[in-house]
Structure 1
Amino acid sequence: MNRCLMLPRVWQPRDPETVCTRIQTEGPSVYFEITLTPEEAEAYALDLLVDARRAKGARASREWIEKIAQQPH
């Protein structure tokens, strides 16, 4: 599963014990806000890291296959 939703961090959450993310929807003052517990934020960040490593591996595999395919037989 790919995570395609970008959740930028808001630097000043209302509750200092939470992680607040804000997604701009229409303009600079129109946004959707999500508040996460520290545990939820860590889990989401780890999921993104796993996805990034998977994507890098897929890219490296594709590039290797393309390089092999271009070699004369």
Structure 2
Amino acid sequence: MQYHYDAASRLERTDAFNGGTIGYGLDNANRLKGVKHIANGQTLADYQSVTSGLSQIISRLAPSLPITDHPNKA
């Protein structure tokens, strides 16, 4: 496993030896806002964190897969 960091020493992505990659997105407060898993050039999963005024919603987005919302979605 290889780890890649940005200029502020925050984890940007991990590369597995089998060719898979996991990318991490952070907001300006360094909170995790998204995770994207890619293998063989295809997006397997794309998780985005959306913050509302009352709760946090997690949605899973990927090509040819339905959007699946977190059960705690308001």
* TM-score of the pair, normalised by structure 1: 0.29
Higher strand share: 2
Bigger radius of gyration? 1
Higher helix share: 1
* TM-score of the pair, normalised by structure 2: 0.29
